A and B are shown apart, each in its own frame.
Chain A
């Protein structure tokens, strides 16, 4: 009987074999595998998770954006011109005439006014990108104002480098919504948030949201009113495939066009596969270790310096990460204004030991290090643990879940944090503010990473604020270059790597443009 069942199983299997399997995806649909089960909203005023920002980027358009070929250049999207007045605080944007939202409503300065105000008034989690200019729920009606249908005037609380404001507006919170449509769906003063969050979209970008099944998939369809024409695919289908090996198999078979979450191990296997190519791009994401100077050992600058010599930077980049990171030891990522090529540290056990001796530390000591339980952090942490041990620095690795990892850092209950920083907009201030500006110097009074790790950045904090207020681009660049070197030398931040985006793609898929920050990829000119 048992054997009869076995042969029945074989029969079942052979019938399955006769079911035709399509070896390719539909011609008019771009199929992307990604991990999207963390996305909680697609409202551009509050998107934040990688998958949410990715989708919102295809749906909503900002006033201005960074040129992907040369991110130091600003180009108009909904705005045809923009300028700043003599006072350095008053910005005027002229909207391009003739643009339409997916609904058919015209794009006007009133929409821009409504969209930017609502981010501030909703107290959205992404509002910090705008409120750092001094906007509050009370003043934003006066400070962000459409003076006519095509003119938007934005007043900032202080003088800032104009490009800083433009970059912030280019980020995901700067996406402009169809004010008329959204206002029709406001409930209890929620600025249409509930309506926009999951089931509807109201943008002018190349795609509109057709269907989002949370934790499963997103379907975007082409916006017929998009000004840039319809050269791209009709649909974008983003499927939740959490396992990187599964993404690899799907890509190999041609069941998906783009695999966004491949691990270093998958690249080697895929390189030999025909019909698969890779696009690599710069990502602004930086991997670093934050050293909490509240710890008695880490309070000593020499100990901090010693630790910087106890990481095998190049070794990790070559072996563990397989081309997905490069050594980078300054706060501004390569590709951004003011980036410098300054990597002074390499593995040097003897030098580290000498520095520890100078600091008066003898014998072993232990540091509690919090690590996110996901690659590449675990691999980095183990490699660092091994080299630090050689100089008597014992890392007690606490490998924890992602939320706990965030919580430990927020509560600064740790000695070392293996972290990453993804800039929200391609301006050096996104990083300078985080790593160098103390609360007392921040106009919005917010905690930076420096405060989280107990570090008084001293004059660097004021230098960073001076740099973001400098209107002359060349001077501003020089200021960042100068402050970064000092910051790398003195700060309790042990910068290790900058991420290199590497995305697996079917060879017939053309026109994917990788973004600059962490998830602003552009899919609208893709053909296959």
Chain B
């Protein structure tokens, strides 16, 4: 008995170590890639800071301040050493610690992406199931058409048209920005998420206003992920519905609902988890176009504008964050796999 549990413990520890090592190697690879690509990009961070008019001494001073006189590999090692100590450096645009910046820009993306994904899943999965069930009949065509539009129409265009219709003409939602000027600075920032902070402070009017600002971009992101999720659900369901166990279930007299939802969807759900996790990851990177159109202070714009300014620390910090998000989501979907599919549990034992 004793030996069994200690070997199990060793197994768990070993797996944890393997996991940690793979996470670290992934992150380090990501850092190295971003760092060197960042330096290959023909943008000079010094000019980015001093502009076109300053003289040579100023150039020299900033060049040295940024440590650009050191060899590239040395700059990279110094950077990694600092990261290992938890210091992500300072952004020269915002003059704040990159970690602080990420903490203030990421929540805006997180709440938007989460709402968007919820909309995408709640509509996309049933749509995909329906399309597969009524395969090659009109609901299928309709759902595929809706998905195709969501996939192929540029999202910034949809955003502008959405603003024109629902904000400008119909007055159903609020316009670009995270909150009306009236409500600026009322809610103390705790989590950084406007919705949560307003709820924590009990400022329901602020909450309603923040929500009305978020609804349109969230629906857009939701529509975009609906397009992806419904198509993937459809093809996975089609695959499942053509299997023999479905035929068996029907022959045994199971209701259509049980066949589709209880058997086929349950099996399709396993790969679907990955699809959903990946589209969540995609949304959490921040959609630069949506954030630009809606003047949304999210992580996508933060990373993009940092990239254009050659603000290396900010870009690397943002990349590590996005990488960590993907790794976390992957682990989460692995976990869900095990819960949904008893066989994967068995294998590990």
Contact = CB atoms under 8 A, between A and B. Distances in A.
B69 to A, nearest CB: 17
Given A215-B94, A219-B185, A403-B47, 13 more contacts: A13-B172, A16-B215, A17-B170, A29-B181, A37-B93, A48-B51, A125-B50, A198-B94, A215-B93, A242-B301, A246-B163, A403-B48, A407-B47
Contacts of B56: 446-447
28 contacts: A17-B172, A19-B174, A19-B208, A21-B174, A21-B180, A22-B180, A40-B49, A40-B94, A126-B54, A127-B54, A128-B54, A197-B95, A198-B95, A213-B104, A214-B95, A215-B94, A215-B305, A216-B297, A239-B181, A245-B163, A246-B160, A249-B163, A252-B168, A255-B180, A403-B308, A403-B309, A407-B44, A410-B44
A249 B215 contact: no
A424 interface: yes
B175 A255 contact: yes
A195 to B, nearest CB: 11
Interface string A414-431: 000000000010000000
B47 A406 contact: yes
Given A21-B171, A48-B51, A31 B181 contact: yes
A127 B52 CA distance: 13
Interface in B112-150: 122-123, 126-127, 129-130, 139, 143
B35 interface: no
Given A2-B127, A214-B95, A219-B184, A242 B295 contact: yes
A404 interface: yes
B73 interface: no
A407 B43 contact: yes
A341 interface: no
A128 B53 CA distance: 8
Nearest to B52: A406
A5 B126 contact: yes
A406 B173 CA distance: 40
B293 interface: yes
A196 to B, nearest CB: 11
Contacts of B92: 40
Given A5-B126, A123-B57, A125-B58, A40 B93 contact: yes
A252 B47 CA distance: 38
A528 interface: no
Interface in A5-48: 5-6, 9, 12-13, 16-17, 19, 21-22, 25-26, 29, 31, 37-41, 48
A380 to B, nearest CB: 18
A408 to B, nearest CB: 8
A246 B295 contact: yes
Contacts of A39: 93
A250 B181 CA distance: 12
Interface string A269-296: 0000000000000000000000000000
Shortest beta-carbon contacts, A-B, top 7: A214-B94, A125-B50, A125-B54, A403-B43, A246-B176, A241-B295, A2-B126
Given A2-B130, A214-B93, A240-B295, A128 B308 contact: no
A197 B91 CA distance: 13
Contact of A249 (B47, B57, B143, B176): B176
A526 to B, nearest CB: 15
B142 to A, nearest CB: 10
A401 interface: yes
Interface residues of A, number: 65
Contacts of B292: 242-243
B310 interface: yes
B42 A404 contact: yes
Interface residues of B, number: 69
B52 A253 contact: no
Contacts of A29: 181
B324 to A, nearest CB: 22
Nearest to A37: B305
Contacts of B184: 217, 219, 237
A409 interface: yes
A462 to B, nearest CB: 21
A125 B51 contact: yes
Interface of A: 1-2, 5-6, 9, 12-13, 16-17, 19, 21-22, 25-26, 29, 31, 37-41, 48-49, 123-128, 131, 194, 197-198, 211, 213-217, 219, 237, 239-243, 245-246, 249-250, 252-253, 255, 401-404, 406-407, 409-410, 424, 444, 446-447
B282 interface: no
B196 to A, nearest CB: 18
A246 B181 contact: no
A243 B49 contact: no
Interface in B12-60: 42-44, 47-58
B52 A26 contact: no
A403 B306 CA distance: 12
A22 B52 contact: no
A241 B94 CA distance: 17
A339 B130 CA distance: 72
Contacts of B143: 2
Nearest to B92: A40
Contacts of A447: 55-56
B15 to A, nearest CB: 39
B185 to A, nearest CB: 7
B78 to A, nearest CB: 21
A403 B51 contact: no
Nearest to B166: A13
Nearest to A217: B184
Contacts of A250: 175-177
B254 to A, nearest CB: 18
A6 B182 CA distance: 33
B173 A16 contact: yes
B209 interface: yes
B55 A446 contact: yes
B167 interface: yes
Contact of A239 (B51, B167, B209, B295): B295
A383 B215 CA distance: 41
Given A22-B180, A123-B57, A402-B308, A16 B172 contact: yes
B302 interface: yes
Contacts of B175: 246, 249-250, 253, 255
A106 B174 CA distance: 45
B129 to A, nearest CB: 8
B123 A5 contact: yes
A217 B296 CA distance: 11
Nearest to A137: B57
A218 to B, nearest CB: 11
Contacts of A48: 51
Contacts of A198: 94-96
